[in-house]
Chains A and B, each alone.
Chain A
């Protein structure tokens, strides 16, 4: 565990699990995207090492969701290259399927399947995409549901769970695919304050296990504790990036200064 204590007295920073020997997990190289004539990603270049934890922040509409969704091709970029797990994202559906198997995603609005039980939510993709026998998938799902601390809810429907519980199920559902990379798009923004902690704790647990993570969030405490690197986006560009301490305590650009002051005022 790292010895540099957080000045605010929060939890100490986790030791970095980023591996410099392995090829990077995600590479974005001069990625550009437009919606109609609106330029939403401008020359975004970012490399995420295997085991690295990157937190993305920035004002609303700055393109954070768009960028993270390009990584598993929920959105298509129009210029530049995206390489995930050594596979370049192209129109070829086979490589797309292969990439989506390795990349888990957690959404702001949970997006659980309401007509399936919690257990079925978790086993559907392992059974049909990974061709896992049902019994094995059930055991795997129960393992991850225990990890997110809700094994007893396995036979309920999503609508019967609290928001925090639903988001933890969503995390378990993604983990059941044994992904190499996890993407989080504001996983706690739709939650009541008392439920945010339970979801963040789950994510810290994941980070401790060395999962490669890209996480859009405004939870600065989480960023300080977990992130190897924080990336600040504004108007479709990556404006600044660095270790959390440096970025938060010593912002270089005015845009980041403004953003940080707004965030702090909001808290």
Chain B
């Protein structure tokens, strides 16, 4: 008997090893099988695949021709101005990147004094550094707030000058990418905490606070951002006492913060509502105070739930900052438009817009990728 038992169990490993050597047929798994199942499963799907493939190849080749092979990267500049005849001779068959080569400083820094461009350049790098540091979880501690304050102070000093031997540059001369980053960073950094307070207020048991928050959200959400910006730039000064003047950029910034906070508040509220009541009750039963409950139990869970719509809104606002062009603030997009007002460069809008679009894309794509990683990491506790 014992022998039989041994016989029955012994061959197993060998069998497993044998099984391990057998590969599934090539057409059942792997890229070929995937292509067969997804691209060529029927004659219709084969036809669509071939047609789209053809278009894709055509467009890609066309784009490569335009953007690289036929492109002109620089043109001679004489005292009379840039000589763009070579670009015009292309007749649209190639990109005239010379406009970007020539105007990139203007797009990035606007009308900021040319020889002082290093100052906004450092500010852009400081902003990016700030984003990177804030993105790393090991820096998520109270000291991060100090890092922010210090960095923003340095940025302020660099941009304005008027001290430490830096020449004074009035705000009207700031422009380009720095303006976009200032509006977006302050906008999101201040709107987000405000939105949390508003969302909590909307669920408050105190009628006065609740009504105030509902009114705020409904009023701000009910008007377009453009009209808020107009109000901030045209109407708001009318209410101020004679001689008092609040910086135009600051007014636009406040309008953007208020607008963003109303939208974000609704996103946060959705997260608060998604939490089961038991979480509130368990925190209450343990004797946690309202703010302990909110800070340790409710918000950490609610915000994790709404990372995708939050980032969606952030990205939207990053791009919406471009609306300030309407009240004459020189952000990235306005600087780009202004760069091609000069007669020599008129008609090269595509190159400029592609470049500006690329800059926006880099920032937005980074936000999007980061949020996906963050979501996966923060929601690890839900995976068994």
Chain A interface (Cβ < 8 Å from any Cβ of B): 72, 74, 97, 100-101, 103-105, 107, 109, 111-115, 124-125, 128-129, 157-160, 173-174, 177
Name B260-301 residues within 8 Å CB distance of A. 276, 278-279, 281-289, 292, 296-297, 300-301
Judging by beta carbons under 8 Å apart, are A128 and B279 in contact? no
Q: Select which of B283, B285, B292, B381 is within 8 A of A157 by beta carbon.
A: B381
Asked if A107 meets B287 with Cβ closer than 8 Å, knowing A114-B382, A115-B300, A115-B304, the reply is no
* 22 A-B pairs with C-beta separation under 8 A: A74-B281, A100-B285, A101-B287, A103-B285, A104-B285, A105-B282, A107-B278, A109-B278, A111-B279, A111-B282, A114-B382, A115-B300, A115-B301, A115-B304, A115-B381, A124-B288, A125-B287, A128-B288, A159-B382, A173-B286, A174-B286, A177-B286
Besides A104-B285, A128-B292, 19 more A-B contacts (Cβ < 8 Å) are A100-B286, A101-B287, A103-B285, A107-B282, A109-B276, A109-B278, A113-B282, A113-B297, A113-B301, A114-B301, A114-B381, A115-B300, A115-B304, A115-B381, A124-B296, A129-B288, A157-B381, A158-B381, A174-B285
Judging by beta carbons under 8 Å apart, are B287 and A113 in contact? no
Q: Select which of A157, A158, A177 is within 8 A of B287 by beta carbon.
A: A177
Q: How far is the CA of A104 from the CA of B292 in the complex (A)?
A: 18
- Interface residues of B, CB < 8 Å — how many? 22
Q: How far is the CB of A144 from chain B (nearest CB, A)?
A: 14
Q: How far is the CB of B300 from chain A (nearest CB, A)?
A: 5
Q: Select which of B287, B300, B301, B382 is within 8 A of A97 by beta carbon.
A: B287
Judging by beta carbons under 8 Å apart, are A105 and B285 in contact? yes
Q: How far is the CB of B292 from chain A (nearest CB, A)?
A: 5
Judging by beta carbons under 8 Å apart, are B284 and A125 in contact? no
Q: How far is the CB of A114 from chain B (nearest CB, A)?
A: 6
Judging by beta carbons under 8 Å apart, are B279 and A113 in contact? yes
A104 proximity list for chain B (CB < 8 A): 285
A101 proximity list for chain B (CB < 8 A): 287
Closest B residue to A72 by beta carbon equals B285
Name B319-347 residues within 8 Å CB distance of A. none
B384 within 8 A of A: yes
A177 proximity list for chain B (CB < 8 A): 286-287
Judging by beta carbons under 8 Å apart, are A129 and B287 in contact? yes
A114 proximity list for chain B (CB < 8 A): 301, 381-382
Q: How far is the CB of B301 from chain A (nearest CB, A)?
A: 5
Asked if A107 meets B289 with Cβ closer than 8 Å, knowing A114-B381, A159-B384, the reply is no
Q: How far is the CB of A100 from chain B (nearest CB, A)?
A: 4
Q: How far is the CA of A114 from the CA of B304 in the complex (A)?
A: 12
Q: How far is the CA of A113 from the CA of B382 in the complex (A)?
A: 11
Judging by beta carbons under 8 Å apart, are B286 and A159 in contact? no
Q: Which are the 5 A-B pairs with shortest beta-carbon distances?
A: A111-B282, A100-B287, A111-B278, A125-B286, A157-B381
Q: How far is the CA of A251 from the CA of B285 in the complex (A)?
A: 34
Judging by beta carbons under 8 Å apart, are B296 and A128 in contact? yes
A113 proximity list for chain B (CB < 8 A): 279, 282-283, 297, 301
Q: How far is the CB of B281 from chain A (nearest CB, A)?
A: 5
Q: How far is the CA of A129 from the CA of B290 in the complex (A)?
A: 12
Closest A residue to B284 by beta carbon equals A74
Closest A residue to B287 by beta carbon equals A100
A129 proximity list for chain B (CB < 8 A): 286-288, 292
Q: How far is the CB of A184 from chain B (nearest CB, A)?
A: 12
A97 proximity list for chain B (CB < 8 A): 287, 289
Q: How far is the CB of A243 from chain B (nearest CB, A)?
A: 29
Closest A residue to B292 by beta carbon equals A128
Asked if A124 meets B282 with Cβ closer than 8 Å, knowing A113-B297, A115-B301, A115-B304, the reply is no
Q: How far is the CB of A211 from chain B (nearest CB, A)?
A: 16
B304 proximity list for chain A (CB < 8 A): 115
Q: How far is the CA of A115 from the CA of B283 in the complex (A)?
A: 13
B276 proximity list for chain A (CB < 8 A): 109, 111
Closest A residue to B286 by beta carbon equals A125
A111 proximity list for chain B (CB < 8 A): 276, 278-279, 281-282
Q: How far is the CA of A177 from the CA of B278 in the complex (A)?
A: 19
Judging by beta carbons under 8 Å apart, are B384 and A125 in contact? no
Closest B residue to A183 by beta carbon equals B285
Q: How far is the CA of A100 from the CA of B289 in the complex (A)?
A: 11
A173 proximity list for chain B (CB < 8 A): 286
Name B344-379 residues within 8 Å CB distance of A. none
A115 proximity list for chain B (CB < 8 A): 300-301, 304, 381
Asked if A74 meets B381 with Cβ closer than 8 Å, knowing A109-B278, A113-B297, the reply is no
Q: How far is the CA of A188 from the CA of B70 in the complex (A)?
A: 76
B383 proximity list for chain A (CB < 8 A): 159
Q: How far is the CB of A84 from chain B (nearest CB, A)?
A: 13
Q: How far is the CA of A114 from the CA of B289 in the complex (A)?
A: 19
Closest A residue to B300 by beta carbon equals A115
Q: How far is the CB of A187 from chain B (nearest CB, A)?
A: 13
Judging by beta carbons under 8 Å apart, are B286 and A124 in contact? yes
Q: How far is the CA of A109 from the CA of B289 in the complex (A)?
A: 22
Closest B residue to A117 by beta carbon equals B381
B285 proximity list for chain A (CB < 8 A): 72, 74, 100, 103-105, 107, 174
Closest A residue to B382 by beta carbon equals A159
Q: How far is the CA of A182 from the CA of B301 in the complex (A)?
A: 27
Q: How far is the CB of B212 from chain A (nearest CB, A)?
A: 22
Q: How far is the CA of A114 from the CA of B287 in the complex (A)?
A: 18
Asked if A112 meets B292 with Cβ closer than 8 Å, knowing A100-B287, A157-B381, A159-B381, the reply is no
Judging by beta carbons under 8 Å apart, are A125 and B288 in contact? yes
B 54-84 to A, binary, CB cutoff 8 A, 1 in contact else 0 = 0000000000000000000000000000000
